[in-house]
Structure 1
Amino acid sequence: MQSATRKDKSRWRRYLANERAEAAVYRELAARREGEERAILLALAEAEGRHAAHWIELLGDEAKGLPEADLRTRVLGGLARRFGSIFVLALAQRAEARSPYADDPDATPAMAADERIHGEVVRSLAARGRRRLSGTFRAAVFGANDGLVSNLALVLGIGATGVATEVVLFSGIAGLLAGALSMGAGEYVSVRSQRELLEASTPDPAAHDALPDLDLEANELALVYRARGMSEDDAIARAERTLARVHATGSSHGVLTTATGSVTATDDDDEAIGTGLSAALSSFCFFASGAIIPVLPYLFGLTGFVAVAVAVVLVSIALIITGAVVGVLSGASPLKRAMRQLAIGLGAALVTYVLGLAFGTTIG
């Protein structure tokens, strides 16, 4: 393209470098996957290669000595090589959503459309991973965040009353143990109850044995399908077909479980909820790991304002990290989630600190 300016060519070279780096990210991820996920990731890498070919065609002989890919893409590549985890897919989802091709006159409409669809493909792949870890991860994040906020609030509130440092330390340790045990027990009960609710919605296996003896004229099976949300006509038609097959084959195994409109517990439900024991252990451990942080300055002998300041700084860093992790995994802005987590956590601690000051003044 003879009319291309130096600025145009610089932009094309940057695009080319990014496309090649993104293709490498998808290949790195594919190397750690199997089956359908591997095939999908390799197809994404191939698509990025087609985009790279477009910029090579525009650049001609100048498609050499390319600049480095942008920082975000390089970070993705490094993470993919070392971990190949759900975090990389979540970051790739955000990267695809920020493609500049829709507003670039030198990118074809097909390329812009590809990038938009790539975002949905990566979103779906990331969703699989999110679903697999959502139960335990939810308990872990909530446990750590609750430990950080509740024990910081407790330590600051007690410390602000002017009591001895030993009292603040023991209060923090007591808060850690009490909170961790409460979180673990509560999470176990919650998950077990949710599983029991799902199991209660699963068709009774013994009901299958009654199907061969149902009256074809009355066809009570239609009522089951209607109760599960099917219209009356659809339910009757489905029940007639089902009973005809049962009488023809003599087998009724799985008929109610696989019926259209059934409400059953599935493997996906199990993955999303997690197990009661794993959720309880995660809640206990992560609450404790969060709750120990505000206590650390007192464990190392710090006192007074210095201990308070160090505790606030340490908890702030931890809140920013947990907020950013949640943001990455949810496909949202890590910075916004981190700042939200920080504001909520410090806000709660500030309230108890002010109350502690007021209470200490009253006693004095």
Structure 2
Amino acid sequence: MQDKITDSRSIRRWRRRLADEREEARVYRSLAARRSGEEREILLGLAEAEERHARFWEGLLGDEIGPHRRGQFRMRILVALARRFGSVFVLALAQRAESRSPYRYDQDVPASMAADERIHEEVVRALAARGRARVSGSFRAAVFGANDGLVSNLALVLGVIGGNVPSDVVLLTGLAGLLAGALSMGAGEYISVRSQRELLSAARPDPRARAVVADLDFDANELALVYRARGMDEEEAHRRADALLSKIQLNLPARHEGAEPTAEDAHGGQDRSSETTDGHEVVGTAMRAALSSFVFFASGALVPVLPFAAGLTGVLAVVLAVVLVGIALMLTGATVGVLSGAAPLPRAVRQLAIGLGAAAVTYLLGVLFGATVG
């Protein structure tokens, strides 16, 4: 009897595993349908791997495979999101799903299949990192703008309320804080990003250096100094420079371990791929960052003003403003957590605690100064 119960439990677990693998394959195929080139091929490869895992469970179940069933609810939601959006947000959720794979603890799973799932997590992490790099400039401005708008304007509103001023003054103060803060954030973000891009441009190799590499003195070999200035040790710098100049003298294609007489060689073989992780693409454009910061600050700053704009007054308006801002802060924190591949709840709670803590301090100061003035 015990064996039958055990077998029944195993069959139910295997059926769940089969359903989940099928859902994961749908996620990756849906994401691939919204992409092209290398990313599409990688996602299709992941989908094929999940389908291979599904076939393993089908073989294990045999005649007990049962009717077709859906996977976990969160996986079905992920499929729907992938079909409609296919964004870095969905990839981040997929990364999180892969990180929670139960295969490492399941004795029925071959070691090769458990290893597959661990590798899938790294593949999705890398794909998500590409997406994060593409949106990081605007996303950073949007997150900071929304958070600053929520916290600063709630603090401002509670501060003047603590000073015991009329509701119409509270509303006017909140709207003035919204406009002033949004303009300040947008201008500051524009200047910040523009300055950072100019600094990055100043550090990039000069493409005109390509023309003089072939004319360098072979005996002096000053190209090695450039390699060393860019971080290579002396021996490696001389080896790379000698190899490059030797090939130039022999009129051979100037390639040696990826080197060629370009601006990158004249500046230490700088890898162009760094631009996508440390350069302009990560920083984003100044205008886009400024616009994101302005819009999201204004959106966040509007939340604590809404109850007063709707005509509410007194304790009800204050409580509603705090609740609305608290919800918005938690959503912002959870979104950051998901996109960073971390658990969303701790980030949401952290955002809430910081925001409401700052607002509480300002309210107490308003009460203190209001009492002093009175």
Q: TM-score range with shorter-chain normalisation?
A: over 0.9
Q: How many pairs does the alignment contain? A: 363
Corresponding residue to 1:341 among 351, 359, 362? 351
SS at match of 1:5: helix
Aligned position for 2:257: none
Corresponding residue to 1:289 among 292, 296, 299? 299
Deviations 1:253-280 (A, max 9, x none): 9523246844577541221110111111
The alignment yields a C-alpha RMSD, in angstroms, of 2.1
Aligned position for 1:73: 75
Cα distance in 1 between the residues matched to 2:305 and 2:339: 29
Cα distance in 2 between the residues matched to 1:207 and 1:81: 47
**CA shift for structure 1 position 127:** 0.8
Aligned position for 1:216: 218
1:264–1:50 CA distance, 2 compared to 1 (3 A): closer
Aligned position for 1:237: 239
> Would the aligned equivalents of 1:203 and 1:264 in 2 still touch at CA under 8 Å?
no
> Would the aligned equivalents of 1:199 and 1:264 in 2 still touch at CA under 8 Å?
no
Cα distance in 2 between the residues matched to 1:28 and 1:212: 50
1:259–1:108 CA distance, 2 compared to 1 (3 A): farther
1:250–1:23 CA distance, 2 compared to 1 (3 A): closer
Cα distance in 2 between the residues matched to 1:60 and 1:211: 67
Aligned position for 2:327: 317
1:57-206 to structure 2, matched below 5 A, reads 57-206=59-208
Q: Establish whether residue 359 from structure 1 lines up as the match of residue 369 from structure 2.
A: yes
Aligned position for 2:316: 306
Point out where structure 1 has 5 or more consecutive residues left out of the alignment.
Answer: none
Deviations 1:8-42 (A, max 9, x none): 11111111111111111111111111111111111
**CA shift for structure 1 position 292:** 0.9
Percent of pairs with identical residues: 63
Amino acid across the alignment from 1:270: H
Which stretch has the larger CA shift, 137-146 or 27-36? 27-36
Which stretch has the larger CA shift, 58-67 or 173-182? 58-67
> Would the aligned equivalents of 1:147 and 1:291 in 2 still touch at CA under 8 Å?
yes
**CA shift for structure 1 position 196:** 1.3
SS at match of 1:105: coil
SS at match of 1:170: helix
Amino acid across the alignment from 1:340: R
1:263–1:179 CA distance, 2 compared to 1 (3 A): farther
**CA shift for structure 1 position 91:** 0.7
> What TM-score do you get using the length of structure 2 for normalisation?
0.92
Cα distance in 2 between the residues matched to 1:81 and 1:234: 49
> Would the aligned equivalents of 2:29 and 2:44 in 1 still touch at CA under 8 Å?
yes
Which stretch has the larger CA shift, 164-173 or 201-210? 201-210
> Would the aligned equivalents of 1:198 and 1:264 in 2 still touch at CA under 8 Å?
no
